[in-house]
Amino acid sequence: MEHKAPPVTFYLMERLISRYCRLEVAMNKILLCSLSVILFLIAGCAASSPGATYTDPDKIIRVEVGQEFTISLKANPTTGYTWDALSPASWLQMVEKSYKADEPVLVGSGGVENFRFKALGKGQTTITMGYGRLVDSKAAQTKVFTVEVSS
């Protein structure tokens, strides 16, 4: 009995299917990895959200326990004047204080000071923000923000 090789078309079809299966597995792995990275980035953004930003002391800041909020005030530290939180309640934790200069950044130009707080307990209080120089005993300007924290 003579042994015949499979027809060329059968051989080519088998190779094509084999390649297609390997390609499909590779694409599924890439898709799964891409989705994992996207979900990780979205979760990271949500977890680090600083909450709402407030600039107007006439508006009541309403947050829940565990939430963060930011008070942003115009400042010009190049003149020696900066903002400081003078009387935050014990259940309000200042998480971060930062400064962002106005664009374009020029000598003597101002910017915004940001104070990020986290509510650790519930209640109502005020945060007095004082604008002054370290060498002065009294603030040149004050702004009082009312904060209501619920559970």
Distance CA 69, CA 115 (A): 8
Question: What's residue 10's pLDDT?
Answer: 63
Distance CA 119, CA 122 (A): 7
Distance CA 147, CA 69 (A): 10
Per-10-residue mean pLDDT for the chain, 151 residues long? 61 71 69 60 52 93 95 91 86 92 85 95 93 81 94 84
Question: What's residue 138's pLDDT?
Answer: 80
Question: What's residue 48's pLDDT?
Answer: 44
